[in-house]
Amino acid sequence: MRWADRHAHRRTDRVRLTGRQWLGLVVFAAVAVVVAFGVGPVREPHPVPAAQVDAARRAFDGLRVIGARPPHDSGYQREAFGSAWTDDTQAAGAGNGCDTRNDILARDVRVSGLTSASTCPRAVAAGVLTSPYTGRPVVFERGRGSSAIQIDHIVPLSYAWDMGASRWDADRRATFANDPSNLVAVDGASNQTKSDAEPARWMPTLRSFHCQYAVQFVTVLARYGLPVDAPSKTALGRALESC
């Protein structure tokens, strides 16, 4: 076969897409980027009610302060706070037949679809979250897209453990781990970046959310009688001043 004939033969094997097919590919790629990275316009959070800010400032003044976070206990295990997202605790909203993760998704995500799951008969199947840590939208789809949205403990469990929760009984730790006031749905990347860091080492990327973050962090510490490390108290104080 001559070169020209082989070249012509290869060209006829190429798949030609219609304009509609190209448009579908572009839309699919854009959605994939949003799911993976939370790309989109930044949405600013709603102002924190003045009464909540005032209460947090009073609680802040009453927190017990220690010089630094103690060295982390290498023996710490997540299981010390009970089964992940169990519905069987004394936390607000518990005992409603749905696991805590689905309760928080239903609260924070703009839900567009529901399904039945083994841990919740009305589990969130699809929706969009504006991550409070970035202000950007994240698409949620149960299955492959589930990890795009994760549930963060504002006061990390291992931080609570280091600051005194290691001495609590099992029921109190399980309630703490499933308390809605200490939980927020966020983009997966932010949750992984934060890990178990305290405010002195990590604050949300979206600076306008620092007020809300500090209000919730301080409120949870005060509710459970946990102290704060001195560097984090400084960081939280600055955030409360921004309210």
Q: Which domain holds residue 228?
A: 44-107+148-241
* 26 φ/ψ angles, rounded to the nearest 5 degrees: -65, -45
Asked, for residue 154, whether it belongs to a domain, the answer is yes
Look at the chain and report how many structural domains it folds into. 1
Nearest to 158 by CA among 79, 59, 64: 79
CB 69 within 8 A of CB 159: yes
pTM for the whole structure: 0.83
Residue 39's pLDDT is: 55
111 DSSP β-pair partners: 127
Residue 17's pLDDT is: 45
228 DSSP β-pair partners: 65
Asked, for residue 8, whether it belongs to a domain, the answer is no
Q: Distance between CA atoms of 199 and 140, rounded to whole angstroms?
A: 27
Asked, for residue 80, whether it belongs to a domain, the answer is yes
Asked, for residue 24, whether it belongs to a domain, the answer is no
Residue 208 is given by DSSP the state G
Each residue's pLDDT expressed in tens, for the chain with a length of 243 residues: 444 444 444 444 444 545 443 433 333 334 444 444 455 789 999 899 999 999 999 999 999 999 999 998 888 999 999 999 999 999 999 999 999 999 999 999 999 999 999 999 999 999 999 999 999 999 999 998 899 999 999 999 999 999 999 999 999 999 999 999 999 999 999 999 999 999 999 999 999 999 999 999 999 999 999 999 999 999 999 999 999
Residue 187's pLDDT is: 98
Cα dihedral 63, 65, 71, 76, rounded to 10, equals -20
Q: Distance between CA atoms of 37 and 189, rounded to whole angstroms?
A: 7
Q: Distance between CA atoms of 149 and 11, rounded to whole angstroms?
A: 44
